[in-house]
Amino acid sequence: MMTGMVIKTLPVGEYDRHVTILTKERGKITAFAKGARRPNSRLVAATNPFSFGEFKLYVGKNSYTVLDASISNYFEELRNDFIAAYYGMYFLELTDYYTRENNDEVKMLKLLYQTMRALCLPSLSNELIRYIFEMKSLVINGEFPGIPQWEGLLESTAYSIQYIMDSSIEKLYTFTVNEQVLAQLKDISHFYMNRLIDRKLKSLQVLEEML
C-alpha cells in the first residue's frame, strides 16, 4: 500500500486509465488502472484527480498497476466551485512539474494536501492560496530567492513572505492580507514563477482566461 494523491489521469483504450500518483513512499509514480473508466468499477472515483488515500499497487518489472484503493478525501467541495477546481488543477500541474519518481516528495505531498483543504474553505482567498502555494513550492525545491529588495515593498508583505518561507506546512494557510499586500504578493510570485518555470503551464493559461 502507498499513500498519495492522484495528480493526473489519462484515458487508455476504451475503459482503462493511466494515473500519476504523488506518493509518500516513492515520490511520483505512474500506474495502469484497468477498467477504471467503467461505470461500475471500484476504481472509477479513486483514480480521479484530487483523490487522496491509500493505493494497493502491483509492482511489475517496468510499471505499477492499481489493484484497489481506499480514498480518505475526494475533495468533493471542489466539484461545486468551478473556479476553485481550476485553481486545484493548476496546483496539480505545478506539482507534476516539480516532482520526480523515487524522490523524497513528502513535503510536496503535504503541501498539496493542505492546499486542497484550504481551497475548500470559503474564508480564504483563492488568489492568496495561489501565491502561498507558488512561493512555498519554490522554497521546498530550493529555488526561492528570498524577500526581494524592491522599492516600496510593504513591511507587511515582507513579513508575509518570511512567514511563507519559515512556517510549517500545517500552519501555512492561517493568515489573510489586505488588498495592497495581496497585490505585492502577486507581483513577486509572478516575477519569480516567470523567471524559474521554463514553460507556461496549460492549466494556468485556462485559469487566467477564466478570471
Question: And the C-alpha cell for 122?
Answer: 470559503
Sign of CA dihedral 144, 204, 28, 171: positive
Q: From its phi and psi, is residue 103 left (phi > 0), alpha (psi between -120 and 50) or beta? A: beta
Stretch 69-88: mean pLDDT, rounded? 94
Q: Tell me the per-residue pLDDT of 162-205, one tens digit each, with 9 for 90 and over.
A: 999 999 999 999 999 999 999 999 999 999 999 999 888 999 98
Q: What is the pTM of this model?
A: 0.95
Residue 98 clears pLDDT 90, i.e. is over it: yes
> What is the reported pLDDT for 200?
85
